[in-house]
Amino acid sequence: MGNQAPGDPSGTEDGVLWGRVGRLVDEANSVEALRHHGLELIAARHWRKLDRPVPEELRADERLAAIRALAAPVLLSRVRDAYDGTLVLMKGPEVAAHYPDPRVRTYCDLDFLVDRPEPAHRALLRAGFVEVGDPAHYHGAVPHLRPLMWPTLPLSIELHRQVNRPPWLSPPPTAELLELTTSSSTGVADILAPVPAVHAILVALHGWAHQPLRRLLDLIDVAVVIGDGDRDAAAEFARRWGLQRLWRTTIAAVDGLLGDGRIGVALGVWARHLSAVRERTVLETHLTRWAGPVWSLPDTRLRALGGATAMFTEAARPRAGEAWPDAIRRTALAIGDSRRPQSQHELMKETRIGR
C-alpha cells in the first residue's frame, strides 16, 4: 500500500513512523521550528491527543488548512472541466491523501504535470482562472508556467512542463512520467497521479530543488507515499533517470529519522538540523551548497566535487549590482554569523552591509 511507512506495516498513526514523528515534534523548542519543518499541524494534532493545549496560532493554521482542503476538490473539478488533456496531480492533496489524517498535511497550491502546458494554461484562462505572480519571473520559466488562481478559492495552480529538481540534475522525461500514472487518491474523476514509486522520487526531487534534505515534512511525505513493496521499483526508476544517489541519500534520511534509526553521514554532518528539529545555521547552509551536489550527482565523486566547489565559491562573488567590497563584507558577515539560523542572518545582513 502506498501509505505504508518504513517498518510500519499498518500505515496508521500508531506505527513506527508516527511514533518517531511524535518524538521529533516533542524535540522542537518553538512553534517557529515546527513551522520551518512543516510540522505545525502535525504538532497540533499530536498535542491534542496528549490533552496538551494547542496555541491559538496553530488553531488558526488548522482552520486555514481545513478551508483549503475543502476547496481542493472543487478546484480540481474546475481544472478538469476546463482542460480535457492529461492532468497528473503531484504533491499537495495527493500526498495528503496518504496521511492518517489528510488535514495535517497542509498545502497552498496544486501542481499538475501536463501533456500540453501552454494550451492547458490558455484553457484555464478562458474558463475564468486568473494569472498571479510577477510575469517577469515566469517569462519562459521552467519548470512551470505562471501560476493561476480561481478568484474565490485560496489555492493556486501550477502547470508544469517538467518536474522541479536541483539545477545540477536533469529532470526525468515528462513523456515517461505522464505514462507512469494511476488514478488520483483525491477521488476526482479523470485526475491522475504518479504511481507511488515515481511519486516518492518526485517529492524528494521537489524538496531538493528548494534545498537538499530541506525539512522533515519532505521526508515524511516520501515515507507515506512509498510502501516497502515500491522501494525496488523506485530505486530502478532513480537509476534510470540518473537520480540514484539523490534517492539513496533521501531514503537513508527517511530510514534514519523515521525508521531504523541509523544515522548516516548526511544526517550526521550536513543535515543535522533535521534530527535537532531546527533551522539550518549559516555554516550549514553554505556547507549544503557543496554537499548537495556531492551527495546527489550520478558522476564520480571527484567530478561532483568540482561542480559543487564551483557552486560553493560562487556564493562569495559579487551579485548583480554589487561591488567587490560589499561582496567581501557579506562573506565576512556570513563567517561571523556561522552559528546563527539562516533566516536571522538574512534579516540582519542588509542593515549591517549598508553601514
The pLDDT tens digits along the chain (355 residues) read 333 333 333 345 558 899 999 999 999 999 999 999 999 999 999 999 999 999 999 999 999 999 999 999 999 999 999 999 999 999 999 999 999 999 999 999 999 999 999 999 999 999 999 999 888 888 766 788 999 999 999 999 999 999 999 988 999 999 999 999 999 999 999 999 999 999 999 999 999 999 999 999 999 999 999 988 899 999 999 999 999 999 999 999 999 999 877 888 899 989 999 999 999 998 888 888 888 898 998 864 445 455 555 555 555 555 555 554 454 454 444 444 444 554 554 455 455 555 4
Q: Please tell me what DSSP assigns to residue 346.
A: H
Q: Check residue 298 and give its pLDDT.
A: 80
CB distance 286 to 343 below 8 Å: no
State whether 103 and 193 are in the same domain: yes
Same domain membership, residue 208 and residue 110: yes
- Residues 286 and 247 reside in one and the same domain: no
Helices (H) and strands (E) counted in the chain, each on its own, are 18, 7
Please say which residue of 203, 231, 251 terminates a domain.
251
* DSSP character at residue 182: E
| DSSP state string for 68-116 | HHHHHHHHHHHHHHH--S-EEEESHHHHHTTSSSGGGS--SEEEEEESS
Listed residues 211, 236, 251: the one ending a domain: 251
- For residue 176, the model assigns a pLDDT of 98
Whichever domain contains 216, its CATH number is 3.30.460.40
Instruction: Supply the pTM of this predicted model.
Output: 0.84
Residues 240, 169 share a domain: yes
> Could you give the number of structural domains in the chain?
2
338 exposure class (CB count in 10 Å sphere: 0-12, 13-18, 19+): middle
What are the DSSP E strand ranges found in the chain?
Answer: 87-90, 109-114, 130-131, 148-149, 156-160, 181-183, 192-194
- Domain identity same for 127 and 77: yes
In a domain, 18, yes or no: no
Residues 126 and 223 in one domain: yes
**Same domain membership, residue 309 and residue 181:** no
**Lookup: cell for 230:** 515500491
User: Does 244 map to a domain?
Assistant: yes
Residue 275 domain-assigned? no
Query: Do 306 and 172 belong to one domain?
Result: no
**Residue 122 covered by a domain:** yes
Distance CA 130, CA 134 (A): 13
Asked, for residue 120, whether it belongs to a domain, the answer is yes
Query: Which amino acid, one-letter code, is at 53?
Result: P
- How far is Cα 62 from Cα 293, in angstroms, rounded to an integer? 36
* 158 and 100 in a common domain: yes
**Within-domain flag for 231:** yes
CB count within 10 Å of CB 108 equals 11
Looking at residue 308, its pLDDT comes to: 56
The letter for the amino acid at 189 is A
User: Which residues are registered as beta bridge partners of 109?
Assistant: 156
Domain identity same for 86 and 228: yes
Q: Are 126 and 82 in contact (CB under 8 A)?
A: yes
Look up the domain containing 340 and give its range: 281-355
**Look-up: residue for cell 486555514?**
64
- Contacts of residue 117, defined as CB under 8 A and 6 or more positions apart, other chains included, come to 144, 145, 159, 160, 161
Q: Does residue 143 have a cis bond before it (omega within 30 degrees)?
A: yes
Spatial strand order of the sheet with 181-183 comes to: 130-131, 148-149, 156-160, 109-114, 87-90, 192-194, 181-183
Q: What is the spatial distance between Cα 57 and Cα 48, in angstroms, rounded to a whole number?
A: 14
For residue 143, the model assigns a pLDDT of: 85
